[in-house]
Amino acid sequence: MARPMRKVLVIYGSPREDGNTDILLEEIVRGIKKEKNKNMEVEKVYLRKLCIYPCRECRACDKTGRCIIEDDMQKLHAKFLEADWIILGSPIFFYSVTANVKAMIDRCQALWARKYLLREHPGEKPKEKRGGWFVCVGATRGKKLFEGASLTVKYFFDTTGVPYRGELLVRGIDKKGEVLNHPDVLSRAYSLGENIASLS
Ligand SMILES: Cc1cc2nc3c(=O)[nH]c(=O)nc-3n(C[C@H](O)[C@H](O)[C@H](O)COP(=O)(O)O)c2cc1C
């Protein structure tokens, strides 16, 4: 029997094109798109190419569940609610996610308001059929390197109604494309893609 079509949204959160985060996400996509995984529809979103203004904290969304700022974020809200699997990638910037990712997450306050203030769950699919993964790269090796970013991303996934399923956290990678010198890490990324595809 044919497996149901699954929508995968891959969010590229680094401002650096072809950098380490891009490379890892591409490996994951390669794993997802293996020959037999024809039921996976992958959509890539490059935050660096989008116009996403910071949240103004006007609180209009508290009452309406809608953001009043007209920019590319409106389209993203719909994509978050439609996706089965969401993979978010970001390098560590000052122990957090990049400004690109943080602006996107803050603008999910409208979805948070829908869920927690207005008690609406428009478009949300059953949780067991959804999942979110966080892919993150940092230059240093400290034990707490990913703590801030992971917590932020967990709350992003919660707001979009997506259970946090796992993470690929890579320390000690700094220069553009340096992760290509680490076949073990690339192989972990590829396997993660295969695993995600096998979940459907
Ligand atoms: C503005 C900025 C802040 C950074 N802050 C940190 C940091 O706090 N900790 C760290 O380990 N690496 C930090 N880095 C290094 C990046 O995380 C690292 O170079 C990463 O590999 C970049 O991934 P990319 O190629 O996908 O952009 C920072 C880099 C920049 C440009």
Are the C-beta atoms of residues 83 and 48 closer than 8 Å to each other?
no
Domain that includes residue 125, residue range: 10-198
CATH number at residue 53: 3.40.50.360
Whether 1 maps to a domain, the answer reads no
Contact 133, 168 (CB under 8 A): yes
**Which residue CA neighbors atom 1 of ligand 1 most closely?**
93
52: its two tokens? 């996403």
Please tell me the pTM assigned to this model. 0.97
Number of H helices, E strands in the chain: 7, 5
Q: How far is the CA of 112 from the centre of ligand 1 (A)?
A: 29
Q: Is residue 183 part of a domain?
A: yes
Closest CA to 101 of 155, 40, 42, 173: 155
> Is residue 73 situated within a structural domain?
yes
Is residue 180 within 8 Å of 23, Cβ to Cβ?
A: yes
Give residue for tokens 């943080």. 102
Considering the domain boundaries, does residue 74 fall inside one? yes
pLDDT value of residue 84:
94
3 within domain boundaries: no
93 CA from centroid of ligand 1 (Å): 5
What is the per-residue pLDDT for 123?
64
Instruction: Give nearest CA residue, ligand 1 atom 3.
Output: 93
- Interhelix angle 20-32/183-198, nearest 10 degrees: 40
List per-residue pLDDT tens for the chain, 200 residues long. 667 889 999 999 999 999 999 999 999 999 999 877 678 899 999 999 999 999 999 999 999 999 999 999 999 999 999 999 999 999 999 999 999 999 999 999 999 999 999 999 756 688 888 999 999 999 999 999 999 999 999 999 999 999 999 999 999 999 999 999 999 999 999 999 999 999 86
Q: Residue 28's pLDDT is what? A: 98
Within a domain: 5: no
In-domain check, residue 156 = yes
Does a structural domain hold residue 178? yes
Provide the number of structural domains found in the chain: 1
Q: How many residues does the chain have?
A: 200
**Cα–Cα dist 114/99, whole Å:** 24
